[in-house]
Amino acid sequence: NAGVMQNPRHLVRRRGQEARLRCSPMKGHSHVYWYRQLPEEGLKFMVYLQKENIIDESGMPKERFSAEFPKEGPSILRIQQVVRGDSAAYFCASSPGQGAADTQYFGPGTRLTVL
């Protein structure tokens, strides 16, 4: 059973470009979480999704950021018109069920660098 997969592992974008980060959850997991780790800061929750639904997006910046988890295919975190402050490691986690009972399994992360 492959773990959580994220690609690309490293992504370089120039200011104003778009960044698309992909996350394939573990097999059998239907819950996906995105977290961001800014340099010298801890991990911060961004968004929680189930298939075709955004459950909690309280950690998402109001503008330029969006996330989806379609019925088929990976979850996508999309950042439009990137700025240097978006440079960070973005981690995806998945779990088989919702909430407290289930351990979240993290992917290796995508390290975004904005030039």
Partner 1 sequence: KQEVTQIPAALSVPEGENLVLNCSFTDSAIYNLQWFRQDPGKGLTSLLLIQSSQREQTSGRLNASLDKSSGRSTLYIAASQPGDSATYLCAADGSSNTGKLIFGQGTTLQVKP
Query: Contact positions toward partner 1, by CB under 8 A?
Result: 4, 31, 33, 35, 41-45, 48, 55-56, 58-59, 91, 93, 95, 98-109, 111
Specify whether the CB–CB gap between 6 and 93 falls below 8 A. no
Q: Which is nearer to partner 1, 33 or 79 (CB)?
A: 33
Specify whether the CB–CB gap between 90 and 112 falls below 8 A. yes
Q: Which is nearer to partner 1, 60 or 114 (CB)?
A: 60
Q: Which is nearer to partner 1, 16 or 61 (CB)?
A: 61
Query: Distance (Å, rounded) from C-alpha 91 to C-alpha 106?
Result: 7
CB of 36 to partner 1, least distance (A): 11
Q: Which of 94, 107, 5, 114 minimizes the C-alpha distance to 50?
A: 94
Find the largest Cα–Cα distance for the chain: 41
CB of 57 to partner 1, least distance (A): 10
Q: Which is nearer to partner 1, 34 or 114 (CB)?
A: 34
